[in-house]
Amino acid sequence: MPKIITLAHQKGGVGKSTLALNLAYRFSKEVKTALTDTDPQGSTIQLKDIVQGIDILGYKGTKNLQGKPYDVIFIDTPPYLTENMIPIFLASDLVLIPTKAGVPDIMAIRATIELVKEARKKKPDLKAGIVLNMIKPRTNITEEAKEQLQAYRLPILAEIRDRVVFNNTFLSGGIGTGNDQQAVQELEQLTTEILNLL
């Protein structure tokens, strides 16, 4: 049975798809990895011919994923939340909630966390963590965001900064094709923390 890691946030523009691709790329270096997108309009399926080492799967429901021959499957979700997310969360081992540090992003995270809490009523061992994503360097807003996010009592994982190499991910098929060692280190740190949660 694969480990299923879902990335979710009700707000668009928080870098969910980019982070999902980069994490899948990183995990694919060591284990058999797949990436799928529950949004029919999502950009993930268009990566099929660009990305190497990751299988890009069309999404046909969570039951279909559980029998697949992978070690890890990442699920990218659309930038809106409905009750349809609950079955996806219930099929997941970990829900990652990427967010920017801006006020609208932090305010919007609450709805996603409420759905995680709802899913935990049926699956108490569901893990979840927040990833501060696309962070601008040297700003106080990141520390302020961390303080606000601590109220949700979820782990706040490694920060991913706003870097050119991450923004070019969909052109290159993963950050491993670039030479930004700081970006690689950030992804390594996040990967380690994800493995610790699993």
pLDDT, one tens digit per residue, over 87-110 is 999 999 999 999 988 888 888 899
Please spell the DSSP secondary structure of 53-82, one letter per residue.
Answer: SEEEE----HHHHHTSS-SEEEEE--SS--
52 vs 107, more confident: 107
Least confident range from 125-139, 163-177, 181-195: namely 163-177
> What is the torsion angle, in degrees rounded to the nearest 10, for the CA atoms of residue 189, residue 191, residue 196 and residue 198?
160
> Does this model's pTM top 0.85?
yes
Asked if residue 99 lies in contact with residue 88, where contact means CB atoms within 8 angstroms, the answer is no
**Residue numbers of the domain that contains 60:** 3-197
The stretch 141-152 carries a mean pLDDT of: 86
d(CA 4, CA 164): 28
d(CA 86, CA 122): 10
d(CA 43, CA 136): 24
Q: For the chain, how many residues are written?
A: 198
* DSSP annotation of 161: B
- Kindly tell me the sign of the dihedral angle through the C-alpha atoms of 118, 123, 124, 125: negative
Which one, of 56, 112, 50, lies nearest residue 86 by Cα?
112
In the prediction, which pLDDT does 103 show? 86
CATH of the domain at 57: 3.40.50.300
Give the number of domains in the chain.
1
Spell out the residues 6+ positions from residue 84 whose beta carbon is closer than 8 angstroms to its own: none
In the prediction, which pLDDT does 172 show? 56
